[in-house]
């Protein structure tokens, strides 16, 4: 099955997904390796009957490199992402999410930011999660799509 077909099938199984930071970075920066996949993902997200969720931690991760490089254009682009994508909800870290993140970290050995991302998606009712972090492959609580599984790359 071709990568676009695999993405379409994944998205077809979900009405609400969680989105990790990497897909947003790739899309906002126009990464050639992933742009076809992220464009399809964010086009899907414009649909009327679908939604996605990400943690406000994502904004922190999006802003680190632009601030480090003192790149005000990239800072503005990252901040614009909070309103740019229709149907993408930015969820704060709550006590419920923190508790669930601790459980996920304990059960799966995830790093704290990764556990927060996943816990946010699960708490918000997402049934799928899009990432490019290989550590999520071992997660069973939610269906995970790793972008490198759809692109030609070293992690295939």
Q: 86 vs 143, which has greater pLDDT? A: 143
* Domain hosting residue 27, numbered range: 3-149
pLDDT score for 150: 86
The answer as to whether 38 is a domain residue is yes
CA dist 41 and 27 (Å) reads 10
Q: Is residue 154 part of a domain?
A: no
Q: Return the DSSP state at 127.
A: S
Rounded distance between C-alpha atoms, residue 116 and residue 49, angstroms: 26
How many Å apart are CA 26 and CA 32, to the nearest integer? 8
151's tokens: 């692109």
| Mean pLDDT for the chain overall | 92
What CATH number is associated with residue 58? 3.40.50.1010
Query: What pLDDT digit, counting tens, does each position of 53-77 carry?
Result: 999 999 999 999 999 999 999 999 9
Which pLDDT value is given to residue 155? 42
Quickly list DSSP for 119-138. HHHHHTT-SEEEE--GGGGG
Q: Does the residue 155 lie in any domain?
A: no
Q: Is 112 part of any domain?
A: yes
Contact (CB, 8 A) for 142 and 129: yes
Q: How confident is the model at residue 154 (pLDDT cuts 50, 70, 90)?
A: very low
* pLDDT tens column, 80-111: 999 988 899 999 999 999 999 999 999 999 99
């Amino acid at each position: 099955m071709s990568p676009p077909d695999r993405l379409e099938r994944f998205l077809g199984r979900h009405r609400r997904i969680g989105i990790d930071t990497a897909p947003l970075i790739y899309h906002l920066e126009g990464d050639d390796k992933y742009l076809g996949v992220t464009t399809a993902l964010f086009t899907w997200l414009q649909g009327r009957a679908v939604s996605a969720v990400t943690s406000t931690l994502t904004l922190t991760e999006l802003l680190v490199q632009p601030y480090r490089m003192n790149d005000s254009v990239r800072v503005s682009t990252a901040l614009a992402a909070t309103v740019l994508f229709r149907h993408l909800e930015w969820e704060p870290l709550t006590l419920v999410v923190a508790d669930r993140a601790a459980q996920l970290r304990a059960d799966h050995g995830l790093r704290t930011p990764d556990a927060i991302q996943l816990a946010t998606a699960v708490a918000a009712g997402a049934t799928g999660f899009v990432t490019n972090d290989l550590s999520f492959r071992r997660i069973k609580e939610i269906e995970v799509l790793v972008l490198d599984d759809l692109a030609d790359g070293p992690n295939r």
